[in-house]
Amino acid sequence: MAENKMLRIKDLRVVFPVGGKQIHAVNGVSVDLAPGEALGVIGESGCGKSVTFSSVLKLIQSPPAMISGDIELNGRSIMDLPEKEMQKIRGKEVSMIFQEPMRCLNPVEKIGVQIAESLRLHEGMTMKQALNRAVELLKMVEMPDAEQRIGCYPHQLSGGLRQRAMIAIALACSPKLLIADEPTTALDVTIQSQIIRLIQKLRKETGMGIVFISHDMGVVASLVDRIAVFYAGQIVEQGNTRDIFRNPLHPYTAGLIKCIPRLDTESRRLYTIRGSTPNLTTIPEGCCFAPRCPYATETCRTVKPEQTAFPGGRSCACHHAASLN
């Protein structure tokens, strides 16, 4: 134990058997998080971000999925914890908010009751206490007219307000870690920035750690201390947000940064990374990004690049990481 980590994922692998084939959704991911730290997780659709962090709450059904590696929360491995113990962790120590705020609320239950549920579950509050706390929580997430809103059904709220309600539910029991799985993807841009600012504010107030999953580099930049870039079920690069933006080591990261539309340059068209997302049914011999990489050499196609440490707590899995800069 070097230092105390709130979350430590070691060589996580998740394989889904689907119709005789195997989908290698997560392929040896190692990442950790200090208490109160904010980690940004970036990557294209389907690269295993959700599967990796759903595993932290053991939300992936296994079987059928085959999960190996180790996940520790506050130094305790959860891999062999029984379901009953996991239920105590979920929502209490670690909470998760999801992409679609409209689908994640029960349509036939009032917002207040839904927020109260985890308070009653984990804190043993009575309904009355829990509803009072629900109002406070809704105020904390800056819901207008909080007293009235606890009596609303989800379909009476707009998308942004629903996401605020979701956040209130997630934060009800003051978890030490919040996993936000693309919480703003389904929202329009102004609401999106409001929600980001809200999460920023809540982080300052509560000191909780955050894993913020997104496929948009621009969205996470202002929010997180560190970034992990996912590609094909692996982390290809991680490091401090500043360093990654200033000086990306991996060609894929560099491509992602170039993809952020900018208003201050003259370029006429948006940059895209050529090629399409990798096939997860086979693990390539060499670097998984090689088929799309402009710098790929023979070595890249045949030898798998190892995670190499770089100064400033960075790491990158690329044969050319040192030479490209």
Partner 1 sequence: MKSILKNKQIVIGGVLILLIVLLVLLAPLITSGDYSSVDLPNKHLAPGPGHPFGTDYYGRDVWTRILYGGRISLSVAVCATLLAAVCGTLIGSVSAYFGGAVDFIIGRIMDVFMSFPMLLSSLIIGIILKASVRTMFLSIGIPCIPMFYRMTRSNTLSIRERGFTKAAVSMGSGPMRIVLRHILPNVLPHILVVFSSAMGGCILAESSLGFLGFGIPQPTPSWGLVVNEGKSFMFQCPWTAGFAGLFIALTVLGFNLLGDGIRDYLDPKIRNSYL
Ligand X SMILES: Nc1ncnc2c1ncn2[C@@H]1O[C@H](COP(=O)(O)OP(=O)(O)OP(=O)(O)O)[C@@H](O)[C@H]1O
Contact between residue 149 and residue 138 where contact means Cβ atoms under 8 Å apart: yes
DSSP per-residue letters across 50-69: HHHHHGGGT-S-TTTSEEEE
Write the DSSP symbol of residue 90.
Answer: B
CA distance 141 to 44: 29
Residue 46 sits in the site that holds ligand X (CB under 6 A): yes
270 binding ligand X? (CB under 6 A): no
Is cis: bond before 63, omega within 30 of 0? yes
Name the residues that contact partner 1, by CB under 8 A. 57, 59, 84, 87-92, 95-96, 98, 100, 102-109, 117-118, 121-122, 153-155, 166, 169-170
214 binds Mg ion (CB under 5 A): no
Residue 28 contacts which entry, Mg ion, partner 1, ligand X, none (Cβ below 5-8 A, type-dependent) = none
Could you give the string, one character per residue 209-238, with x where binding to ligand X holds by CB under 6 A and - elsewhere? ------x-----------------------
From Mg ion, partner 1, ligand X, none, interface partner of 106 (C-beta below 5 to 8 A by class): partner 1
- Phi, psi values for residue 73, rounded to 5°: -115, 120
At its nearest, how many Å lie between ligand X and the CB of residue 263?
Answer: 25
Instruction: By CB under 5 A, tell whether 50 contacts Mg ion.
Output: yes
CB of 169 to partner 1, least distance (A): 7
Q: Residue 23 touches which of Mg ion, partner 1, ligand X, none (CB < 5 to 8 A by kind)?
A: ligand X
Q: Of 210, 203, 213, whose CA–CA distance to 182 is shortest?
A: 213
Task: Indicate the SS3 state at residue 212.
Answer: strand
* Contact (CB, 8 A) for 22 and 14: no
The type of residue at 160 is G
Q: Establish if 163 lies at the interface with Mg ion (CB under 5 A).
A: no
280 binds, among Mg ion, partner 1, ligand X, none (CB under 5 to 8 A by kind): ligand X
Does 50 engage in binding with ligand X (CB under 6 A)? yes
Task: Rank residues 9 and 171 by Cβ distance to partner 1 and give the closer one.
Answer: 171
Under DSSP, the state recorded for 291 is G
Q: Cβ 18 to ligand X, closest distance in Å?
A: 5
- Where is 15: in which H helix or E strand? strand 7-18
Considering the rule CB under 5 A, would residue 114 count as an interface residue with Mg ion? no
Selection from ligand X, partner 1, Mg ion, none that 127 binds (CB < 5 to 8 A by kind) is none
Q: Which of 126, 324, 95 is nearest to 210 (CA)?
A: 95
Among 8, 37, 40, 49, binds ligand X (CB under 6 A): 49
Other beta carbons within 10 Å of 71: 21
- Using CA atoms, how far apart are residues 246 and 254, in angstroms rounded to an integer? 10
Positions that interact with ligand X (CB under 6 A): 16, 18, 23, 25, 43, 45-51, 215, 280
